Amino acid sequence: MTSAPSTPRIALVTGSTNGLGHAVARRLMADGTTVILHGPTPASVDAARERLGLAGLDLTRLETEVADFTRLSDVAALADRVAARHPVLDVLVNNAAVAPTDTRTLTEDDHELAHQVNYLAPYLLTRLLWDPLGAARPGRVVNASSALHRTANLNWGDLDRVRGYARIGAYAQSKLALTMFTRAAAVAAGGRILAVSVHPGILSTGMLSLYARVGQPVADGADVVARLCRPETTVRNGAYYDGESEAPVAPLAADDKAIARLWKATAKVVGLDRQPASV
């Protein structure tokens, strides 16, 4: 007797209309995963969907979502829609990010642009999808970090960088905070969720100017991220990877007191003062 086909895995990949996120979405779809493709505008999402179709991928394994991460209300609404359709979510790839501008820019929520899009938004999205991710037992959260997180520090009284703003410093801080959150999420989930952060390499994307003039092909970074999404890939919960290898983190990202302090401060900012039910 033939066994019934298994339910396809579901992965939400943020910032997947171009660059690394789009390449990751393509890899996961090729693996048979149903991908929720996310972008900031309907036009960007439609164009990305068309490119995947032209590449010969099965669009019945594709869902699309629009949410502008410069608005935290959009992030919350995205989480609500995804959770309503998918009480079990296998993978969340927090890839959406911006390169900060030369001058300090504020979002509609009055936060520095990179701090919100690169850190507050993925924090909020992950927390709001906690139950669907935990239902996968374990779901995976893969956070696109950066080796630049090791150059950053946190000014606890000025996380929105009102004083001493610098473009690369703002980006590095956002990736340090995301790396710290990765470890916090791994601990808080108590094994129900596996969370890792990764530097996928210096790639030829819109972020290249923050690193160098020449980058690796985006496909190389997508291979790294997609590998961490696969259930057969063994990972250490809460760890940071540089490419395929586990790597050291910045001192603050290994400081339990600092990690707990950032979790609590961020929860207050985004209106999630309560800890997840599993803690």
Q: What end-to-end distance do the CA atoms of the chain give, in Å?
A: 43
- Give the CA distances from residue 6 to residues 2, 3, 186, in Å, rounded to whole numbers and listed in that order: 12, 9, 27
Q: Give the integer Cα–Cα distance in Å for 106 and 87.
A: 34
Three-state secondary-structure class, residue 260: helix
Residue 171 designated active-site? yes
Q: Hey, which residues does 135 pair with through a beta bridge?
A: none
Q: Give the integer Cα–Cα distance in Å for 46 and 80.
A: 21
Token look-up 């991928």 returns 57
Q: Which amino acid is it at 38?
A: H
Return the sign of the alpha-carbon dihedral for residues 181, 183, 184, 190.
Answer: positive
Q: Active-site residue among 119, 171, 240, 241?
A: 171
Q: Which amino acid is it at 228?
A: L
Q: Give the integer Cα–Cα distance in Å for 14 and 19.
A: 11
Residue 166 has phi, psi (to 5 degrees) of -145, 140
Q: Give the integer Cα–Cα distance in Å for 233 and 196.
A: 12
- The side-by-side arrangement of strands in the sheet containing 139-144 is 62-66, 34-39, 10-13, 91-94, 139-144, 193-199, 240-242, 245-246
Burial of 73 per CB tally in 10 Å (0-12, 13-18, 19+):
exposed
Tell me which residues are annotated as active site.
171
